[in-house]
Structure 1
């Protein structure tokens, strides 16, 4: 008989996770490249912005084919999602056997969905006067990626997509945890996916937020972001694992449509909520994966917020210098990086130009992966989005 949770659920665990981004298409390669400060995925493109070049962080590996799936699921976004899903497929199957296909949820985040296919179709229409037969508008719908993964995994339970820009996939961990704790589901596939498309890059360029080169988080020379692409999927449940999702905090300061509160009030609120829910003190956080976009305003406000809330100076770094800003996939990707940090007991280096802005509050930047001399127990990860939509997540390592 299939089991399902009747007793109150306490801790939520990360039972498995899979990643693909500019550092590689599997955990082994990504881990190696993350800890050795690789920037291998950054490329200069001249086919995205009108009459201009721009650096993006793209996936170079061959992706799974989708010909066997319905037309409206055939997108690069879903290819990335499938590559990440294949890394957790065995765990999903074991949970289906333990519970059932309707007791596993799929809660994913994205900001682009299949927009790249829409851009291709529009260009074809301008040439021929009609949309190609291979184009199905449903490929662009935000619900598409969650529906696709539900189909691939053979699940019939809760399926939803969260789209809150750069905090999208971080929010999936909180939403899924609430569904598990209230008994709606027993486990969930969470995470996020975003693929490169012209709309996003042109949008950030119009805001004068794209970097002229490879981004430099927190540097005195920082001048903007590089858009990246990738997917990060995880399986979470109340079934015990060595990786514990302790808590998440959310806030909406709504200071400005695209600029954060200059003093980081919403960021502080989200981080403090996470600490309170996890029943941890500030001093117990060993490492913080910063949102760290390399834009002047984000890096300034986040440094102010972290310095105020964590005077003991835990190690900090941004992953954007390694993989760019993967937008709707960023939060889940960086939780994946925190899981690698906890399991390997190595810190993720801060990849920039080694010229930290002297105007920023003093933080304890990770210079290399062996900086730490003691055990890493708790990591905090920040994701901040347009409109002041802020999420902070805390993960920890449990030992037998």
Structure 2
């Protein structure tokens, strides 16, 4: 597997644009909202990392946000380069017309009139491709929490196969009642905040996010060295607590990039703050790395952005390294494994090789390896 360049990256999180989010991390000034989530017996109010400007009309607002991301990513590409640029979207969002149909007929709260427009999420990619004069090849990947991480792998494959000079990868996640209800029904939502790898963790906090990267054949400071994806789990919602499934994909990512565990300077974990997932991941880390490995979780800063987290967390991690540090993990005060503790202070760093983990429902697990050359 050959590496591809990461030319640009942009995000919009609950904390704002890329620079605003970076500042929030550096200053530990994290904004978090709350959302009412209808449940079987009663409506609960749960913490939620929401956009400051609420996405009111999903169809039009999402497209407007994606259009702004793409405009930033392609602004330096000429007409010929754009013709050799494809778009892949990664998201966990169900097609909106299906969501509207379910919400209009299934739940007892006030119903809205349902009128199916039969728009798929992939229609965003096709519209963006046409608007910006890009190649008409588009793809949308929906593999739960690994959606946009797998989109990055597929983009790398397309470039390595010489099918395209560039590929734009977008991650999308906005509030979804259906998604929130599902996590709440499985008792996976926190009532306080996220505490990755902490004995007192009580679940995840969901988050909204948009993110985009431009991958290319060009040599750049940042590169996607490669990675791996495996579909393997104990059951439909969880891996075994031994961490074997997670260790499998991490080791395969190292093998595919011809790297050793000792070549990895730091690890961006998936770190969902759910008991089973955190224990599985920490055991996997112990199987793959020695206890000196530096690792952290970004979800306490922006929430679990589900299908968008592949691109969003990758971009945010790169932004931190570009700013000279690996961000600490917030709220881990009572670690679940004494020999493997996420860093509790920002650590100086300007370059290196890093692994990024993403583990999703259904046993769809992905590890990516990125590299920044030293200046």
State the TM-score, normalized to the length of structure 2. Answer: 0.90
Return the offset for 1:181.
1.1
1:345–1:280 distance in 2 versus 1, CA, 3 Å: farther
Who is 1:366 aligned against? 343
Q: Contact 2:90 / 2:171 at 8 angstroms: preserved in 1?
A: yes
1:214–1:48 CA distance, 2 compared to 1 (3 A) = farther
Question: Of 174, 184, 197, which aligns to 1:205?
Answer: 184
**Aligned twin of 1:246:** 225
Task: Please state how far the C-alpha of 1:378 moved relative to its aligned partner.
Answer: 1.2
> Paired residue for 2:35?
45
Contact 1:146 1:159 in 2 (8 A): yes
Residue 361 of structure 1, CA deviation: 5.3
Mean Cα deviation higher: 156-165 or 290-299: 156-165
Cα deviation for residue 98 of structure 1 reads 4.5
Structure 2 partner of 1:78:
63
Asked whether the 8 Å contact 2:291–2:339 carries over to 1, the reply is: no
Q: Distance in 2 between matches of 1:302 and 1:128?
A: 41
Report the alpha carbon displacement of residue 386 of structure 1 after superposing the two structures with TM.
0.7
Q: Is the 8 A contact 1:382 1:392 kept in 2?
A: yes
Q: 1:231 to 1:355 in 2, by over 3 A?
A: same
Match of 1:105 in 2: 86
Q: In structure 2, the residue corresponding to 1:167 is in which secondary structure?
A: helix
User: Structure 2 matches for 1:309-328, cutoff 5 A?
Assistant: 309-328=288-307
Q: How many residues align?
A: 371
Q: Does 1:28 align with 2:19?
A: yes
Distance apart, 1:311 and its partner CA: 0.3
CA gap 1:375/1:31 in 2 versus in 1, 3 angstroms: closer
Contiguous gaps of at least 5 residues in structure 1:
1-8, 67-72
Aligned to 1:60: 52
RMSD of aligned residue pairs (Cα, Å): 2.7
Match 1:131 to one of 77, 102, 114: 114
- 1:377 lines up with 2:352 in the alignment: yes
Equivalent position of 1:258 in the other structure: 237
Q: Say if 1:307 and 1:361, in contact at 8 Å, map to a contact too.
A: no
Q: CA deviation at 1:10?
A: 4.5
Q: Secondary structure at the match of 1:218?
A: coil
Q: Aligned to 1:190, what secondary structure does the other structure show?
A: strand
User: What runs of 5+ residues in structure 2 fail to find an aligned partner?
Assistant: none
**TM-score, with normalisation over the residues of structure 1?**
0.85
Task: Give the distance between the partners of 1:255 and 1:128, measured in 2 at CA.
Answer: 38
Point out 4+ residue stretches in structure 1 off by more than 3 angstroms. 47-50, 113-130
User: 1:284 — aligned with what?
Assistant: 263
1:268 counterpart SS class: helix
What SS class does the counterpart of residue 75 from structure 2 fall into?
helix
| Alpha-carbon distance between aligned partners in 2 of 1:123 and 1:75, rounded to the nearest angstrom | 20
